Amino acid sequence: MSGKLAETVTALVARPDIGPALIVAAETVAGLLLILAVYGLARALRLGGDIRIADRAHAIRLADEAIAGFDAVDVTLDRARIGALVRNAAGRVMLIRRHGCHFVGRELTSHEGIRLDRQYLTLETGDRRFGLLTLDLGPDAQTWAASLRRIGDSQRGGRA
């Protein structure tokens, strides 16, 4: 701080009628400036934001990142693009969901915990940390729900 500015601030603070109000105002302005600086830094670093699955190719890349060599052949995206279901040629299905500013995927190993309600498909992987996810799949919901009923049958050798 320059000498002249320091003298002016000291003189204002020394006045009994304006000192406390000036200190509160200065703290408020300093706090607001710090908040704006943090906001600017977060924007510059591209932190936060609304992360979505861009398209089918993005969902396929996310599935391959979750399980190397997954080689997806069929994809359906949630209408809000916060999640997706991806199937490979072997019939394995992966649920991809947003987790913070990243995406995570879990393979569905059973049809238990899968519920259809019109165009909404609610899926539970059995992993408490992964949680429950409801996807708005539109008209694809019924087709995927029917195909998901077969999950786990191939691993048990089919139903008797």
111-138 confidence digits (pLDDT tens): 888 888 999 998 887 777 887 889 999 9
Look up the pTM and report it. Answer: 0.65
Could you tell me the maximum CA-CA distance found in the chain, to the nearest angstrom? 92
Span 87-98, average pLDDT: 90
Number of domains the chain is built from: 2
36-92 confidence digits (pLDDT tens): 999 999 888 877 777 899 999 999 999 999 988 888 899 999 999 999 999 998 888
Q: Is residue 78 part of a domain?
A: yes
Give the CATH number of the domain where residue 63 resides: 2.30.29
State residue 76 phi and psi, 5-degree precision: -130, 135
> What pLDDT score was predicted for residue 158?
44
Q: Is residue 112 part of a domain?
A: yes
Contact 49, 55 (CB under 8 A): no
> What pLDDT score was predicted for residue 131?
77
Q: Is residue 50 part of a domain?
A: no
Query: Where in the sequence is the domain holding 120, given as residue range(s)?
Result: 56-156
Tell me, yes or no, whether 30 and 72 share the same domain: no
Q: Is residue 51 part of a domain?
A: no
Tell me, yes or no, whether 96 and 38 share the same domain: no
Tell me, yes or no, whether 8 and 81 share the same domain: no
